[in-house]
């Protein structure tokens, strides 16, 4: 096979072009820190990168959902704590009122304070977080206790609070309940008990018999109040158990985020030390190619006819 001068020159230019391409590739990798700059550089890396990035995005979204779940639970905990303090204070006042040494004016003063505590508890029941009522189940856009409060024919409170579970997705396919059964904390039963205590203190019937067994009304109301206190404690315990589970989910999501970032980095990020070494070697090869090319492209007859 006859090798001409033009063939030598063409091959030399082709090899120089490939050398420039490799230099450009290594320089791009150093500048971006990534193995590829376009999917066509390595389709396998590109496809895996899309999959890993999707997983990381899901984990980040679940972590944002956790923030919402924490907000609901912590505000619910604060509401239960406030209700507990009110019930404890009402119990103290009721025990004080049960003492027959109080004058009618003293009992009325105690009744007025209990009325204010009852109104405060109703206000807490309508707590809003980010524009949503957190104590009305899934009906988050309507207040659980309307103004004016619904009353039955006997003048007792007659309203119902939504008990449906409000869930937040904290992991793939996992919904965690973040609300409480507000009927155990702000329901009509506890409000009617507070209302009965208030009225018994104001009208002076606190020391009268509640039934034929001779049980005083004050003692009967005290027993009902203790039952409500038990409901508050049980609801708080259940919320605490779910809060502990939420913390476990948060820890697991944190581990998943670390792993996802590591895998994504291993798939896409370059080994800087190796790229610098490869670039240095390629620069040496390129210089050698230039030197060889200058010898291959020899002077022609035209150069002597100038």
Q: Tabulate helix, strand, coil % of the chain (nearest 5).
A: 70, 5, 25
pLDDT at 247: 92
Residue 21, pLDDT > 90, answer no
Task: Count Cβ atoms below 10 Å from residue 170 Cβ, excluding itself.
Answer: 21
C-alpha to C-alpha distances, 21 to 18, 120, 278, nearest whole angstrom: 5, 75, 13
Residue 300, pLDDT > 70, answer no
Mean pLDDT score of the chain: 82
Q: In the CATH scheme, what architecture does the domain 62-264 have?
A: Up-down Bundle (1.20)
pTM of the entire predicted model: 0.75
Write down the domain spans for the chain. 5-33+271-304, 62-264
pLDDT in tens, 200-258: 888 877 776 655 554 577 788 888 888 998 999 999 999 999 999 999 999 998 888 88
């Amino acid at each position: 096979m006859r090798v001409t001068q033009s063939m030598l020159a063409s091959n030399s230019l082709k090899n120089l072009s490939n050398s420039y391409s490799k230099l450009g590739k290594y320089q791009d990798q150093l500048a971006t820190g990534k193995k590829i700059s376009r999917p066509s550089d390595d389709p396998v890396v590109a496809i895996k990168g899309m999959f890993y990035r999707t997983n990381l995005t899901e984990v980040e979204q679940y972590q944002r959902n956790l923030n919402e779940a924490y907000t609901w639970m912590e505000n619910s905990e604060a509401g239960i704590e406030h209700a507990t303090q009110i019930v404890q204070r009402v119990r103290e006042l009721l025990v004080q009122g049960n003492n027959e040494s109080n004058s009618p004016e003293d009992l009325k003063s105690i009744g007025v304070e209990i009325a204010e505590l009852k109104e405060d508890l109703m206000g807490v029941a309508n707590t809003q977080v980010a524009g949503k009522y957190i104590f009305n189940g899934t009906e988050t856009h309507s207040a659980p206790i309307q103004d004016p409060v619904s009353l039955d024919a006997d003048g007792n409170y007659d309203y119902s609070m939504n008990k449906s579970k409000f869930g937040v997705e904290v992991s793939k396919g996992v919904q965690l309940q973040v609300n409480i059964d507000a009927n155990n904390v702000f329901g009509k039963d506890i409000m009617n008990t507070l209302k009965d205590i208030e009225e018994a203190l104001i009208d002076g019937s606190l020391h009268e018999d509640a039934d034929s067994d001779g049980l005083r009304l004050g003692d009967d109301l005290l027993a009902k109040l203790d039952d409500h206190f038990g409901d508050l404690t049980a609801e708080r315990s259940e919320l605490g158990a779910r809060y502990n589970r939420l913390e476990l989910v948060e820890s697991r999501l944190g581990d998943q985020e670390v792993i996802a970032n590591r895998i994504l980095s291993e798939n896409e990020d370059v080994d800087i030390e190796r790229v610098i070494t490869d670039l240095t070697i390629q620069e040496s090869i390129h210089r050698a190619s230039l030197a060889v090319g200058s010898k291959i492209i020899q002077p022609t007859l035209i150069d002597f006819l100038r």
